[in-house]
Structure 1
């Protein structure tokens, strides 16, 4: 963005804002206040748009996500008047990334597509690369690797048109690794090695330390894929020495989180602790409730794996307290969406092709790719809706949580493919209950599932639980490593009640989880049922 029409004093302040963004927030804000004072005095929309954009950018880089929405939305009003289309596109991108981090994939795709429409309308093709890259990443999140590859490849072609762009080597490295990740999930090792070779030969000496760490975390998993365990372990050791030295922002947080999750699955507990300790500060600073909950849930998996019951329970309580804060975060996001649509999008055209892609992604965002069941995102939406329905109509609401007995042992000994097949078998048995009507089923995550019963009594819910238990037993899926039976079984916790004004839907989920915990402590391969205790 050119500002040659301004005097040297203003241009000096503009440069100071740009240079201190994300590096020295206090100095940047001091310069922004001076520029804002001048801009208001001059009634200058262009300067106001600049100030708001960099405040939003700084909020993103320093993980202050609440401020990000405010500054981006403020800025767009000025930027549209000043025709600063590039700033609006980049703001759409930041809002999209933040929406993904908040668990709102539908909002994210809406932001990304709005940005792409502006790029097309104002011929900002080089700025479209980042939006295509992030849409590709969103498709990868939902396991749609063919579609992801198309967007990532489109992004690669666009970025290569401008090799002088700031952070060119960092961005093209992320693209190469993302494409390599697609190839890995398509079991194309030669494709993985092709993109890794391009990173190491073309980019590696020019990229930031954080991006180098990102490359190495992917290399570890490529060694795993090729069963090169010695190289894998050496690189893990190298990473755990380097990881504490880098500054982490939210751009690559999810990739590093996934790496920590991978270390846990291969039982590299000491290395896992090092990575998690480094991730704790940025996730706390981000104020992203869903990611904080995700982080705590991974800690709980770790405590469960090493038998730290007291720490597991402490983490579970902390996780439960975060649930109530989700409503405030969701309300803020919704207000932002409504304002943006009202101010900027009412008269914008939407291309037919992008609308179809949006619908496709909406379906994928609500569906678990392995089982075809509703996923956690859709479960959250449905659960709130059915809770209100039962509250208004004074009808019974039942919530069941179940998981597969000794699934970790099954997965570790029979392999991930067999583990996936086991999950799919249990999912099909659970989905068979939907034939009775007013029963909703979802995969909660891992080997955990949720069933919601609308309007059924205790005896009927018990009958459904027995039917499901027997159906899974009749499948007779071998499980030699179970301490309950030599076949796959499940444990079930069910709570029921007529909702009142003292309860929330999460009270039902929490109560069902406690009942499940009691069942597993007593015997497993069984079910428990009880009232929802809103005093929990």
Structure 2
């Protein structure tokens, strides 16, 4: 059924404000949904939901965006609209990529490509391959990312030859140059990265250049920092980094449009990490202020958690224990809220993913698919230990049981001493091998205790009916086993020892205490253990 002229005009109005005026874009989407609902136009309703999901995505409201896109995905399949289905799968894949769910993201991207190739939508295909490159960048598979960019470039060229305007083609080329520059920065080819950025100035269209100025500034800052870091190894002299800091000043000055801020949020976090690395304190404070404002405007707990992590790192570098202690409670409360939000959307995400896998793997039984998904959702793929989701489910159950039986529950939190330095020095492959070895020691020495990877190099053990002596012996046995593991490095083949810092807490849980209280107290003990030096075991 053809949509009415009113609906068509509202769709065009929404497209007109995309990435240009956020408030007008949101209002246009609301008007489109209202009109489509009134006319009972299912395709227009699905389109309105898609536009609303896009607006939420570009504000980094990922949970809300995901709900809209899953709704659109169901509708597009019922309507047999392959274009909308393909674009929707692309956006869902992008959200999972931002959440570091790379395997799920790749599934959705392949589904998107299948739909869009069927209808020869080259523009949307180019977008999907661009987003797929982000997955491979997350996985540090940069050659695959480069191949995705080249494929995206190819489909964009096809689109511009058949349908695209000259302005669209030029804008896409600008974006490709910026992405190539950032990718070559990851490949540590700074000469090539700088060449791509310098080529941007050859474009005669000043208005187009201005539209991507924020992205260009960020790319120049990241490439400049890495180039200077390569030239001046192990220095924190701010004079050396003056060129980079000038670019940071420009970024901070022009970062007034909240839509842009949300769009480049992960690049801003990288730049904040660089500033912390060289102790550029005045810029750190400004960047933190910008990021906190962005998180507040986006209503994004995800961004706020990432900002809190950087603030903790910053306060640690300052040696400000008081500020760390104050922030830690807010950080854990937000983590708990985030986990509750994730639990709320977990079922809908899982069911939607099962449906995608059923279509792709029709010969396999539904029971086998569900079992595979349960395994994936409960265990960490690198270490084979339980993941945080499983930890929450198991830990809360143990907490209730300990409360009912009036017996103590013990929690141990441990991490690898100086893991970031180890990882940066010897590379992620050796770092991953280190974590697997630690996980093996935990598995072989944990006995009846439940063990999980909490995140990064941090692990959590839960012991039911725990006594202090039992917790200390458990911690020592893991610590000693890890210390006996000799890990050769890739570059030097020199044997390297690993040490663990460990904090623990045990108590009979009362009604006021939740699992996060136990983990938080053990984690605070861990931080005191680190203050005492490597390889210490400290109680709360």
The TM-score, its normalising length taken from structure 1, stands at: 0.76
Q: Report the CA distance shift for 1:187/1:397 in structure 2 as closer, same or farther (over 3 A).
A: farther
Q: Which residue is 1:481 aligned to?
A: none
Aligned residue for 2:231, secondary structure, equals coil
Task: Please give the alpha-carbon distance, in whole angstroms, between the structure 1 residues aligned to 2:205 and 2:275.
Answer: 24
Match of 2:503 in 1: 493
The alignment status of 1:217 with 2:221, answered yes or no, reads: yes
Structure 2 unaligned segments of length 5 or more: list them: 234-238, 364-371, 488-496
State the alpha-carbon separation in 2 of the partners of residues 302 and 108 from structure 1: 32
Give the match for residue 367 of structure 2: none
1:348 aligned to which of 359, 364, 367: 359
- Does the C-alpha gap of structure 1 residues 496 and 173 become closer, same or farther in structure 2, counting only changes over 3 Å? farther
Q: Find out whether 1:270 has 2:267 as its counterpart.
A: no
Inter-partner Cα distance in structure 2 for 1:153 and 1:114: 20
Following TM superposition, by how much is the alpha carbon of 1:307 offset from its aligned partner in structure 2, in angstroms?
Answer: 2.8
Matched positions, count: 500
The answer (yes or no) to whether the contact 2:129–2:151 under 8 Å persists in 1 is yes
Matched, 1:434 2:447: no
Q: Mean alpha-carbon deviation: is it higher for 104-113 or for 114-123?
A: 104-113
Relative to the length of structure 2, the TM-score reads: 0.76
Matched residues in 1 for 2:77 and 2:483: separation? 62
Indicate whether 1:452 and 2:464 are aligned.
no
- The root-mean-square deviation of aligned C-alpha atoms, in Å, is 4.4
Give 1:156 shift: 2.8
Q: State whether structure 2 residue 388 is matched by structure 1 residue 380.
A: yes
Q: How many angstroms does 1:219 deviate by?
A: 1.9
1:161 counterpart SS class? helix
Question: How many Å separate the matches in 1 of 2:230 and 2:529?
Answer: 40
Match of 1:417 in 2: 425
2:460 counterpart of 1:463: no
Map 1:125-524 to 2 at 5 A.
Answer: 125-163=122-160, 164=164, 168=169, 171-189=172-190, 191-193=192-194, 195-196=196-197, 198-199=199-200, 201=202, 206-207=208-209, 208-227=212-231, 232-246=241-255, 247=257, 248-337=260-349, 340=352, 345=356, 348-349=359-360, 373=383, 379-387=387-395, 390-391=398-399, 398-403=410-415, 407=418, 411=421, 416-417=424-425, 428=437, 431-436=440-445, 440=451, 442=453, 444-445=455-456, 448-453=457-462, 457-458=466-467, 459-470=469-480, 490-496=500-506, 503-520=513-530
For the Cα contact (< 8 Å) 2:452–2:460, is it kept in 1? yes
Residues 10 and 418 of structure 1: CA distance in aligned 2, closer, same or farther (over 3 Å): closer
Higher mean Cα deviation, 62-71 or 467-476?
A: 467-476
Task: Give the 5 Å matches for 1:86-101.
Answer: 86-101=83-98
1:53-132 → structure 2 map (5 Å cutoff): 53-76=50-73, 78-80=75-77, 83-102=80-99, 104-132=101-129
Q: How far did residue 318 of structure 1 move?
A: 1.2
Q: Secondary structure at the match of 1:491?
A: strand
Change (3 A) 1:435 1:233: same
User: 1:108-167 CA deviation, whole Å, 9 max, x = no partner?
Assistant: 344333322322333334312222222221222132334333333332322232343776
- Among 514, 529, 534, which residue is 2:539 paired with? 529
User: Which residues of structure 1 form unaligned runs of 5+?
Assistant: 353-358, 478-486, 531-536
Give 1:298 shift.
0.4
Change beyond 3 A, Cα 1:78–1:239: same
Question: Which shifted more, 495-504 or 158-167?
Answer: 495-504
Q: Report the CA distance between 1:268 and its aligned residue.
A: 1.9
Q: CA 1:170–1:283 in 2, change beyond 3 Å: closer, same or farther?
A: farther
